[in-house]
Chain A
Amino acid sequence: MVEHTGIRVVHRGGSKINFREPVITSDSRFLLCGSGESVKVYSTSTEECVHDLQGHTDLVTGVVLNPSNHLQAYSCSADGTVRLWDFTDGILIKTFIIRYHIFSIHVSEKHVGVLFVVVPMANEKELFQLVAVHLPRSGDPEVEVGELSAVLCDVSPNPGAVSFGTGGEYIAAAKGLQLEVFFFKKQKSYRFSLKSGMNKGINNSFTCISCHPKEDCIATGHADGKIRLWRNFNQKKEYTYSTLHWHHNAVNTLRFTPEGSTNLLSGGIESVLVQWRYTQENQKDFLPRLGAAITHIAVSPDGSLFCTSHADNKITIILSSVKVSAIIQGLVKDDCVRTDLMIDPRSKALVLNGKPGHLQFYSLHRDKQLYNLDIVQQEYIHEQGVDQFQVVKAAFDTHGDWLATVEERRQKSSELEINLKLWSYDEQTQSFVLNTTVTAPHEDQITAMCFSPSPETTLLVTTSLDGHFKAWLCQLAKKIESASWSCDFVGGYHLLKPGCCCFSADGSLLAFGFQEVVTVWSPTSWELLTTLSQPPGAVRDLCFGRLSCSKYLLGTSTKNQLCCWNLLTCSLEWNTPMDVSLLQADPFSENMAAFCSQSGSTDLFVFKPSEPRPLFSKKALCTGKVERAIFAPRDQMLESSEEYSQWLNRSQLYFLTQHMDLMTFSTKTEEDRLLASSKQLMVDDSVAITPFYLLLGRHKQQQQEKQELLTNPLAERTPLPQGSIAIKELLDTPAHVLPSASFLCSMFVRSLLVSSSSAR
C-alpha cells in the first residue's frame, strides 16, 4: 500500500459561522464572520458569500473592524496571529505575530494603533488576561509584535464579557460575580461584586456586558435571566443599578444600538430578540421565533442593521425596524447525524438532519444551505427533558421523485412511536410534498431502508428489529399526487433480526443481512434465492458492486471481516481481516471506500472489488471513528491522469468526523482550478460579486459602455464638418444653381454652430 501526497484532506465548507460575534461593516453592505480557519465576507442584502479570507492556520477567534480605516478588518486566531485584511478586495494586508493563543480581540477608536486581546496568563492556563498590543509601524507584511502590556488580569475568555465604554474612556469586564471597570485616564479600576445567590438556588453570575455608546451606563446580563443597568460606577459606594427581567434563562448576549435611538438588545435560549427602550425599559419589542438560541448580537455602526447568531449555525440579519431581512445559514450540526449522508439526485445537495425534526438540503459547491424540509411537522417545544420526534432515517429513489423518511420518539414511560412518511417531489413548488404517512410501520426500530433502483417499479424496503422486512409498493397513477403506497410483502428469515439491506445496481437482487446470515432475494417474485453465511460476527454493512463489478457483493461484519462474494458462483471470492466501520460505494464507478477504525484513528481504503490492490489508501485520516460518508458527484469532471487520484475524477468523497467536521479530499488539479477561478473573481467593483452578479453584471457593463459612448462630448465631435448636410449641399450642388454667396455664408456658419437640442 502506498501513501499519496497529492491528495489532501481538507475542510470544505460546513464550518461554524456562529462561533464568535459577526461584524457588520460601516456601510452595512457586508457582514464579516470567522468561519473555521477563514473569515467569510457575506453580502447583507443577497446573503451570498463574497470573499473567503484565508490565511489563518487555526480557528479564527474574533473579527473587528479597523477603527482608523473602515475598509479594513482585524482578525485574530488561535494560531497566535492577528491579520489585517482589506475585506472589499479580499486581500491580506499585514500579519502581526503575537505567539499566544488569542481568545478574543477588542478595539476602540480612542486607542489608535492599539489592539486589546485576551490571552492566557503566563503561568496558569486556566486564567486569562486582557493585554494591550501596540502595533509596530512597519512596511513588512509580517511583523513580530514584541510589546504587550497587561490591562486587566483574570478576565473571562468569552469576548462578550468585555466592552469598551463611552469613547473608549474605560473598559468593563465581568467574570463570575464580579464586574471590573478600568478607567484609562485615571489608570484606576473599580470592582463591584454581587452576592452569590447560590444558596437560594439562583445563579446570578455575569454572562455578558455592553456599554452605552453615549452615556455612562453599563448593561450586564446574568445567568438567571436578569439584566442590570449600572450607573455611577466611578464611586465605590454610591454606585447604583436597576434590574430588568424578562429572560427565563441565561442572557447570552447584550448589545446597545448606536446613538440616536439607543435601545438595548438582548437574547438568550428563548430565541427571542428583545429590544428594550433605554430609560423606558417597560416598553420592549420582541422578535420571536428566530429558530434557535441566540448566541451573539451585532449591530452595524450606523444602527440600521442588527444581526443575531444562533446556536444552529445561522446568522439572521434584522432591519432596525425589527424585521428579518436575510438569513445566512451554515450547515446545521447537532451532536450527531442520525440519518445517513445522502445526495439529493435532483439538486445534488447533501441531505442530512438539520434542525430538530427537519432535513436540510445543503449545497456542497456553494457551501450554503438550500432549504429545510419540515419532516415532523410538529411545533418544537424547547424544554429540557422533553422527548421530541426525531428523523432517524431518510432515503431518496434514483430520480429524486420520492423521499422516504422515518421519525421516531421514545418516551421513558411509553412505547416507541414510529412514523414512515413518503414524500413526492412537486415540480411546481420545487420541493417535496407529503404523500403518505404510515404510522407504526414496524413494531420496533427500523434499522435500514432503501429504494429499489429499477426504473419499472417504485419499491421501498424497510428492515426492522422486530425480525421482519417489509416491501412497500407505489401504485402509480397519472398524477404523482394521487399515487398510493401499500405494503407489498412482509418477509423474514428464521426470526433473525435484519440489520441492513441493499439493492443491486439494476434492482434485480436484494440482499439482507440477518445477523450472521446474508440472504439474497428477488424483489419481483419475493423468493429467497440464496443464503450466504460467513464466519462469526453479525453483518454490519452490505454493498453490491457496480458496473463491471456488479457480480460482487461485499459485506462487513462486526468481527473484523470484509468479505466479497461472487454472486455467479455463490461463493466467497476473497476476505480480509479489517475492522471496517463504514463501507460506501461510489454510484458513478466501481470504486468502494472502506473506513477502518484502528487504535483511535481512522484509515481509508479505496478499492475495486475485482482487484486485489487498493487504488488509494490513507492512514490516520482523522481521530475517532468515521460514521458517515458519501460520494458526491462533481459538477465538472476532473481530468486527472495520475492513477492514485483517478477515483476522484467523477465524484468526491465527503465524510463527517467524530467532532462533526465535514471533510473532503482535494487533488492538486482541483486546487489549481480553484485558485484560477478565485483570481478571475477578484474584479474590483463596488458591487458584491456573486454568481448572479456575474451573470447580470456583464450585461450591465456592456450597457454602460454603450451609454458612455453616447454621453461623451468627444464622441459628439466625431462627425466631421464634411459630413454635415449643409456642407454636402454646398459642395455637391452645381455652381449655377447655388444662391448668392451672402446667403450661403450665413447658412454655412449656422450649420457649424452646435444646436442646443442636439447637445442634450
Chain B
Amino acid sequence: MGEFKVHRVRFFEYMPTAIRAMSFNAHTERLALARVDGSVEVFNFADRYFQEKVIPGKDAHSIEALCWVGGRLFSAGLHGEITEYDLENLRPKYSLEAYGGPIWTIISNPQGTHVIGCEDGTVKLFEVLAEGVQFERNLDRQKGRIISLSWHPSGTRIAAGMMDMIRVFDVLTGHAIQRLLVDRSVGGCKSRETVVWTVVFLSDHTIFSSDSAGKVQVWDGHTGTLVKTHQLTKWDVLALSDESSVVAGTSEGTVVQFQFIAPNLQQQEKEWVRTRTFKNHTHDVRALVEIGTAIVSGGMDTQLVVRPLLEKFEEKCFASGLRRIHFPHRNLVSCAQKARLLLLQFPGQLELWRLGESDGHGKPGDILPLKTKPEKLLYLKRKGKDHICCSALSSCGGWLAYSTVSSVRLYRLQTDNNISITKVPKLPKVLRSAHQLCFSSESSYLFAASSQSSVLVISLNQSECKYVHTLKPKSGMWILIYRLCVAVDGKWLATANSDCEVHVYNLQKLELHCMVPMYSSCPSAMGIHPTTNNLTMVHADQQIFEFSIAEKQYTVWSRKLQMQGLHNLWLNRDTPVTHVTFNPKNPDQILLHDMYMFCIIDQSLPLPDQKTQFYNQMTLRSLSEQERPSHLHAFKVCKSFQDLMCMRLLDDQSLVVVERPLMAINSQLPAPVRQKKFAT
C-alpha cells in the first residue's frame, strides 16, 4: 500500500462536553442535541446519523431543554431566555426574556404552543408565530420551581414535575387540578426534597414520573392515584422518554425500558412492566429519546449512543447495529503541508504546533527517534463570548483565520525564527462570519462560506486584503454551505450544502462552472485532484463518486465503481469519512480516513467484489512476492491508528496522524456520581 513516515500526534487534547438535552423531530428525522457548553448539534437520522449542523455555544449560555416546532428549533436555559436558532446560518436567531427566572424546561404541543417551566413556579404559555414567539399567559403560579413538563397529547392538560410533587394543570382554565405527592427517598435523608426530574403524560392519562429518589412511578392522571412504583436505583433517575414504551435513564448509566404488556397472553388487559436494562454509559444519562426503532441516549460521558431495538428489525442492516458517536463529523485540525504546522481548534482557543522532525530510517513498524520535539508555538484565545466555529491555516503557514458567529479574524503569522502574530486590521465589511474557511494553495486567496449560501473570495497579499467577489449559485435559496475545497492549481472551488448539492465554481472567471448531479446523501468529505482536477466526494452513506470537472460528468472509474457496487464491509462502517486528500507523487492514490481507519484507494488496481477479502493487508503480508498481485484490490485499509481526528499528507511524503484515544477522554471525565457496585 505504500510506505510513509508517520507523525503520530497525540497532543490534541480535544475534550467534548457532556450531553444535556435532546429532542427528536420525527417528521424530518433530525435529532437536536445540546451540550453543556451551550452548543447545539443536529444529526440527520435518515442519513446514517450524519452530524449536519453544529451551532457553536456561547459563554454563560447553558441550555436546559430543546424543542422542535415543525422545522424550527427552540431552546431554553438557566439564563432565563427562550432562543430560536437559525439553522441555515448556524446562529441563534433571537432570544426572548421570559421574566420568570431560570427556565428548566421547554416543550411544545402539536398545535404549536410552547410552555416553559420556570424557577419561580410559573408555567408560561407561549404562542409560536411565524416570525417569533409571543407570551400568551401564565398558568396558576405554584410554590417551588417547575423542573419538568409534559403535554397530554390532546393539548388540554399539562403535567408538571416539581419538588416533592407533580401537578396536573387544565390548560383552558389555567388551574391545577391534581396534586400528586412523591415520596422522599426511603433509605436516605428525609429532609432532602425529591426532585421530579421528568414527567411523561401518555394519551390514556397515565403519568410517568422519574425522581431523585431513584423511583419511576406510574400514576393515573384521572384520579391522581399512584398505580405502581418501580425502584430502579438508589439514586436519581434523570431522564424519561416515551413512544410505544417508556425508557428511563439513571445516574448509574443504565437505561431501563418499560413496556405495556398483557400479563396473560390470552387477555387484552395490559400493564406496564419493567423489561430490559441497557448499560452503555459510564456516567449519568441526562437525555433520552426513543425513536421507534432505537433508543438514543446521551449523558455525562459525552457520547451519543443509538441502541437499536432488535425486535423492530426484520433483518440485519445498518440501523440494527449499536452506534456510538464520539467525534464531530468535521475537521477540527488544519495543517500547513509546507510549513509542517498544525492548527488545533478548541471552542475557546486555537493552538498552533510545529511537528517534530526525525532523520532516522528504519524498517516498517519501527519507531524513529525524534531530532526535534513537537513544539507548541501559539495559544490564541478567542475574543468575545462566542465560541469558535471554524478555523483555517494556509499551507505555507503564513496566514491563520478563524470565525465565530459574530466575527472573522485573520492573522499574519511568522514562524521561521521568532514567532510573531499580527492581526490583519481592516477586513472587508462583508466578511462578518463564516461557516467554513479555506485558503488557496499558494495562499493568495481566502474563501469564506458565508450566509445566504454564498462564498466570499478575498485576495490576500502582504499589505492588505481585499474583497474580490461573491460566488453564488443560481437559485436564490439560502442553504448552509458546510464543506469547501479548492483545487491546488487555484482554478476550481467546490462547495457542498446541506441540501446535498455540490457546486463547482471557476475561480478564474469567478462564476459557477457546473453542479454535480444530486445524490440523496450528504457529502461528508470532498477533494479536487491536483493533476486531473477530478472532484472526489465521499458521502455519509459511504458511497464514493469521482466527478470530472473539465468534462462535467462522472469519470469512468466512478461509473465502474457504481456499476460494481462497494463492498458491504465498506458500506457498513460506523463513521463517515471526514477528509479526502491525494498523493501528489502517485496520482492514482486517494487517501481517506474516518475515525477507525485510514484507507488508500488505488485507482489503478481492480475493484473488490463482494466475495473478495476486503481487509486483506495481513494476508498480503503473509504471501510471497509472486502471489501478491493476484490478491491486490483498490481499497487498502489500515487500522493501526485508532480514534483518528485527522490525517494529512505533508509535502515531504510523510503522514500526519492526529489521534485522540477514547481512553484519554474517559480518563479526563469527572468521576461518575454513582457507580453500581455488585450485589448492592
Residues in A lying within 8 Å of B, measured CB to CB: 166, 214-217, 231-234, 237-243, 246, 248, 279-283
Contacts and interface: CB of A to CB of B under 8 A. Distances in A.
A309 to B, nearest CB: 24
Contacts of B230: 280, 282
B258 to A, nearest CB: 10
Interface in B625-680: 678-679
Contact of B273 (A242, A243, A283): A242
Interface string B571-583: 0000000000000
Interface string B218-233: 0000000000111110
Interface string B306-333: 0000010000000000000000000000
Contacts of A280: 229-231
Nearest to A185: B266
Interface in B78-105: none
A240 B261 contact: yes
A243 B264 CA distance: 20
A246 B276 contact: no
B679 A283 contact: no
B430 interface: no
B679 A241 contact: no
B562 interface: no
B275 A216 contact: no
Nearest to A244: B277
Contacts of A283: 231
Contacts of A216: 262-265
A282 B264 CA distance: 23
A275 B679 CA distance: 14
B2 to A, nearest CB: 35
In terms of DSSP, what is the predominant structure of the interface of chain A?
A: loop
A216 B259 CA distance: 15
Contacts of B229: 280
Nearest to B245: A240
Contact of A231 (B231, B232, B275): B275
Interface in B252-278: 259, 261-265, 273-277
28 contacts: A215-B263, A215-B264, A216-B264, A217-B263, A231-B259, A231-B261, A232-B259, A232-B261, A234-B265, A237-B311, A240-B259, A240-B275, A240-B276, A241-B275, A242-B273, A242-B274, A242-B275, A242-B276, A243-B276, A248-B678, A248-B679, A279-B273, A279-B274, A280-B230, A281-B274, A282-B230, A282-B232, A283-B231
A500 B284 CA distance: 69
Nearest to B273: A231
Interface in B336-364: none
B350 to A, nearest CB: 43
A281 B265 CA distance: 21
Interface residues of B, number: 19
Interface string B271-315: 001111100000000000000000000000000000000010000
Contacts of A279: 228, 273-274
Contact of A246 (B231, B311, B679): B679
A217 B262 CA distance: 10
Nearest to A166: B264
Contacts of A237: 311
Given A216-B263, A231-B261, A243 B231 contact: no
Contacts of A232: 259, 261-262, 265
A233 B265 CA distance: 8
B277 A242 contact: yes
Q: Which 7 A-B pairs have the closest CB atoms?
A: A215-B263, A282-B231, A216-B265, A240-B275, A242-B275, A237-B311, A234-B265
B152 to A, nearest CB: 26
B7 to A, nearest CB: 36
B213 to A, nearest CB: 12
A281 B228 CA distance: 13
B103 to A, nearest CB: 34
A279 B275 CA distance: 10
B231 A241 contact: no
A232 B228 CA distance: 20
Nearest to A231: B261
Q: Which of B228, B259, B263, B678 has the most CB of A within 10 A?
A: B263
A257 B575 CA distance: 50
A246 B274 CA distance: 17
B301 to A, nearest CB: 21
Contacts of B261: 231-232, 240
Nearest to B228: A279
Interface string B484-520: 0000000000000000000000000000000000000
B196 to A, nearest CB: 19
B209 to A, nearest CB: 17
Contacts of B232: 282
A239 B311 contact: yes
Given A232-B261, A282-B232, 8 more contacts: A214-B263, A214-B264, A231-B259, A231-B261, A232-B262, A238-B311, A243-B277, A280-B231
Contacts of A241: 275-276
Nearest to B271: A279
A736 B611 CA distance: 140
Nearest to B312: A237
Contacts of B274: 242, 279, 281
Nearest to A216: B265
Contacts of B262: 216, 232
A669 B277 CA distance: 67
Contacts of A242: 273-277
Nearest to A212: B263
A215 B261 CA distance: 11
Nearest to B233: A282
A281 B274 CA distance: 9
A12 B256 CA distance: 55
A110 to B, nearest CB: 14
A113 B263 CA distance: 29
A754 B678 CA distance: 79
Contacts of A214: 263-264
A216 B270 CA distance: 12
Contacts of A239: 311
B225 to A, nearest CB: 17
A641 to B, nearest CB: 67
A82 B232 CA distance: 47
A197 to B, nearest CB: 14
B565 to A, nearest CB: 30
Contacts of A281: 274
Nearest to B277: A243
A231 B264 CA distance: 9
Contacts of B228: 279
